[in-house]
């Protein structure tokens, strides 16, 4: 299972979000020399995203409260 991805606020690249933080990554663009530099957005707290999936089995739960039909 792959980690969800979101845009980094610094480099605007799509980066994996692991445990609520952006994964460590290089800044966008070519490297200068042999040194490794992390993007300033690395390991930054990721904003909470709205739920992308309403349910596990694909059925939609009605927006109004109340008893759901059994069958």
Q: Please state whether the predicted TM-score (pTM) of the whole model is above 0.85.
A: no
pLDDT digits (tens, 9 = 90+) for 15-40: 999 888 999 888 777 777 777 788 88
**How far does Cα 66 stand from its chain's mean position?**
32
What's the CA angle centered on 39, arms 33 and 45, to 5 degrees?
165
pLDDT digits (tens, 9 = 90+) for 41-65: 888 888 876 655 556 666 666 666 6
């Amino acid at each position: 299972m792959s980690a969800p991805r979101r845009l980094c606020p610094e480099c605007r690249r799509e980066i994996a979000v692991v445990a609520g933080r952006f994964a460590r990554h290089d800044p966008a663009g070519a490297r200068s020399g042999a040194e490794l530099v992390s993007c300033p957005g690395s390991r930054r707290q990721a904003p909470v995203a709205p739920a992308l999936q309403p349910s596990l089995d694909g059925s939609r739960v009605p927006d109004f409260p109340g008893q759901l039909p059994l069958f």
